[in-house]
Structures are given as C-alpha cells and as structure tokens.
C-alpha cells in the first residue's frame, strides 16, 4: 500500500508537472500582453502627438502672438464665404485670424478675405489668389496671382507683384486686377510706381502683355466688389461716395427686354380713289443737292475679351475631341478695342469681332426674353465641360442678369466673355446668387 502513492506519482509525473508549470506560463503570457498593450498605447500617443504637432505647426497654433500694434505681422481673416490656406503643399480652411508666412498662398473660394501684409491692408475678391513672397519686416513682398484686390497702403512700403510687373505701395489706395493676359491698376489715392511708369490718383494703368495704356479713371470700369470696398473705406479718394453709389444703383436696375416694333396699320393697300392733283406739277427747277450726305453717327470705343481659361482646370470634364479648341493660354480673343455706334449692344460687338477674326459663333433668339442667347463660341458650347458649363458675359466687372442683345454699350465699356465650368459662374467671378 505504501508503494501505491509513489507509483501513482511516478505515472502521473508529467501531468502533474504540467499543471505546476501552467500558471507560470500564463503569468509570462499576461506580462508580455500587458507590455505589448503599453507599447501600443505609447506608439499611438506618440503618433497622435506628432499629428497634433505637425497640424499645429501647419495651422500656426504655436506661433508667437504678434505684439499689439505691430505693423509687420502678416495675417488673413475670412470676412465672408470660404477661403483656403496652402502651406507646404497642404491646403486647409482658414478660420479666424491666421498668421501667414513666406510661401503661403491664400485662395478665396467664395466671399472675400481681408489680409494685412506689413503696412498694407488688402481685401481679396472671390476667385483671388495671394502668395506671400517675403515676410521680413524690412522687405514685405506679395504676389496677386489672379483675381482682384482692393489695397490700402500705409507708410511702410510693401512690394506688390502682379503678373509680370511689380510696384512699391506706400500711402496709396488702389484696385489691382490680374486676368489672363492682362493686369490693371486703378489708382484711387496717392500714387503708384512700377519702376517704369508712375500712376497718380485718378489714373488707370492697364497692361496687355507688355503694352501699357494709361487712361483717366472711370468708375464704370470698376467691379461692384471694388465699388463696395471704396464705400466701406475711410481713406480719402478722388471719387465721391455719391458717384460710387450712383454706379452701384444703376447696376441693380434691370432694363425692360426690348421688343420688336409692331406695325399697327391695318391696311397696306394703296387707296385707288386717291389721285394726285393733276393741276400740281413738280418744280422742275428744284434739284436735289448732290453734295448733301446723310449725317454719320458718332462712334465710340470699347474693349472685348473672350476667355475659356477655366476649362484648363477642368480638362477631365471636357467632351472628347474639343481640347483642340482650347488655347494653351485659355484666351480665345485677347482684350481688343472695337468701335461701335450709339444704341449698339454687347451682342452686336461680339458678332462683329467674331466675324472679323474668323471665330466661330452660334446664337439663337429667345422671344420670351426678347434677346439673343450665345450657344457656342469657338466650337465650345453649353454643357461641353460639365452640367454647369456655358458662356457668360460681364461689362465693367458686372454680370448682367439679362441677354447680351439687351445691354446697350457706353463709351469705354469693358466686355469679357468667359466660359464657366462650375458654380454657375462663381469660377469666373460671378456672385453666388445672380440677382
């Protein structure tokens, strides 16, 4: 009997040994799992911290606040709509006041943005893009890549690059526009020099390529955005607020569609009972004055431009085979001076210049609106580059809400035909809601 327990223990020794080792193994596995979990949590924490760091660095969370009243601080603030900041190739939405750095680009998707670059305050219009070239206090430089900006420069000089040109801004108020193939400065106060020419208050300097033209400032040539900025500015300018308001109010008036004159006569058959007075003979001595000619109507000048540069950013949406009709520059017709007579319309000038330059154009008359509708220019038609694509026109920066054959031109008008791809015209500068 005494041997039984020993034999049993001998027989079951491996099993008993296993039971005795199992708890130790379980403890080891538990320790390893716990260590693994700790390491995973630590790794996640490090990744999250790095993500926050890089995001904060990108968005400027860790930037030191600028001393109060510091003129060298570069900031951007969304006043209305949506705008993006591109920094290091990464784009993010601008919220609140954002400190800008060298290399930053501000793009206005909708609405407008106010920016301060050194001693210069800017208001960027919808579609505008501004790049910071230098953020050094002693050398503030920026580039208006495209779009429109209302600038109010203080005592500290700031260099503004626009297109292939640049100007030192100091104690001046101006509007700068950069379009495909053209750049314009409208000087409202002070003076601006680009190193070659000086534009005083009340002057407009326009570059088409390298060709410069200087004219007297015409408020009608300014966009509604620029006129509204003028009204909201406390700076002294050459234009009066009443004049600015008058131009804005005129753009809010929709003229009645022109209707063809009707012939109200009911009988066009000559009255056979009516006979000429046989006793009356024409005066054979009276002869028409062969030197008398019909008085010629006075002629006026305007400029017209046809652009489809928005298609270049939406080539994936363009119908196959139509890319041959899209110029590399996006400009079908550069800004061209055209003469017209009193009473002629945007449609008249468009048709005449297209016929003269051999540019294809197709249009149709809409009786309901009493106006012509432009279906296609240069073989580019409505819906050829998306469901919201088609041709729009603007005069002096304003997009009328009626047909082009109802808009009667005035001397000095600037016409731009632009092909919109998205946003029902917002991509070419039209307001969010056409009113």
Tens digits of residue pLDDT in 187-199: 999 999 887 888 9
Q: What percent of the chain has pLDDT over 70?
A: 76
Low-confidence winner among 53-67, 74-88, 403-417 (lowest mean pLDDT) = 53-67
- Domain 299-428: give its CATH architecture: Beta Complex (2.170)
Low-confidence winner among 15-19, 177-181, 213-217 (lowest mean pLDDT) = 15-19
Banded model confidence at residue 378, pLDDT cuts 50, 70, 90: very high
Fold of 75-250: Jelly Rolls (2.60.120)
Which residue has better confidence, 343 or 248?
343
Which tens digit of pLDDT belongs to each residue from 38-62?
A: 888 888 887 877 666 555 554 555 4
Other C-beta atoms lying within 10 Å of the C-beta of residue 278: 6
Which residues of the chain does CATH 2.60.120.1440 include?
A: 75-250
Alpha-carbon Rg for the chain in angstroms: 36
Which residue has better confidence, 310 or 13?
310
For residue 175, list its beta bridge partners. Answer: 150, 186
Extract the tokens encoding 120: 């210069």
Q: What is the Cα–Cα distance from 222 to 232, expressed in whole angstroms?
A: 15
Which residues of the chain does CATH 2.170.130.30 include?
A: 299-428
- Predicted TM-score (pTM) of this structure: 0.51
């Amino acid at each position: 009997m005494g041997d039984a327990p020993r034999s049993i223990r001998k027989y079951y020794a491996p099993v008993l040994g296993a039971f005795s080792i199992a708890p130790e193994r379980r403890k080891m596995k538990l320790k390893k799992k716990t260590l693994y979990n700790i390491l995973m949590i630590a790794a996640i924490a490090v990744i999250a911290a790095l993500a926050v760091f890089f995001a904060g660095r990108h968005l400027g969370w860790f930037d030191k606040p600028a001393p109060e009243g510091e003129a060298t601080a570069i900031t951007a603030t969304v006043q209305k709509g949506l705008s993006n900041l591109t920094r290091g190739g990464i784009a993010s939405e601008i919220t609140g006041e954002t400190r800008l750095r060298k290399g930053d680009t501000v793009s206005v998707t909708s609405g407008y943005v106010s920016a301060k670059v050194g001693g210069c305050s800017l208001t960027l219009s919808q579609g505008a893009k501004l790049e910071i070239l230098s953020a050094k206090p002693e050398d503030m430089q920026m580039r208006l890549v495209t779009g429109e900006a209302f600038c109010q420069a203080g005592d500290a000089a700031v260099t503004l690059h626009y297109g292939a040109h640049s100007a030192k801004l100091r104690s001046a108020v101006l509007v700068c526009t950069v379009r495909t193939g053209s750049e314009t400065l409208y000087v409202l106060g002070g003076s601006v020099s680009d190193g070659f020419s000086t534009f005083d208050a009340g002057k407009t300097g326009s570059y088409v390529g390298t060709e410069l033209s200087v004219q007297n400032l015409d408020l009608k040539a300014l966009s509604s955005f620029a006129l509204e900025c003028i009204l909201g500015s406390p700076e002294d300018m050459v234009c009066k607020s009443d004049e600015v308001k008058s131009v804005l109010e005129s753009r809010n008036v929709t003229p009645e569609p022109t209707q063809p004159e009707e012939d109200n006569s009911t009988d066009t058959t000559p009255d056979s009972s009516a006979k000429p007075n046989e006793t009356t003979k024409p005066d054979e001595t009276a002869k028409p004055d062969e030197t008398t000619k019909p008085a010629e109507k006075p002629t006026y000048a305007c400029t017209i431009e046809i652009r489809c540069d928005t298609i270049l950013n939406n080539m994936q949406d363009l119908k196959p085979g139509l890319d041959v009709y899209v110029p590399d520059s996006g400009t079908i017709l550069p800004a061209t001076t055209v003469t017209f007579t009193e009473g002629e319309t945007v449609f008249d000038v468009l048709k005449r210049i297209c016929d003269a330059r051999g540019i294809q154009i197709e249009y149709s008359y809409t009786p309901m609106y009493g106006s012509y509708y432009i279906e296609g220019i240069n073989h580019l038609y409505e819906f050829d580059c998306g469901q919201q694509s088609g041709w729009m026109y603007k005069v002096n920066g304003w997009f009328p809400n009626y047909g082009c054959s109802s808009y009667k031109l005035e001397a000095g008008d600037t016409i731009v035909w632009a092909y919109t791809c998205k946003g029902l015209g917002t991509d070419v500068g039209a307001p969010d809601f056409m009113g």
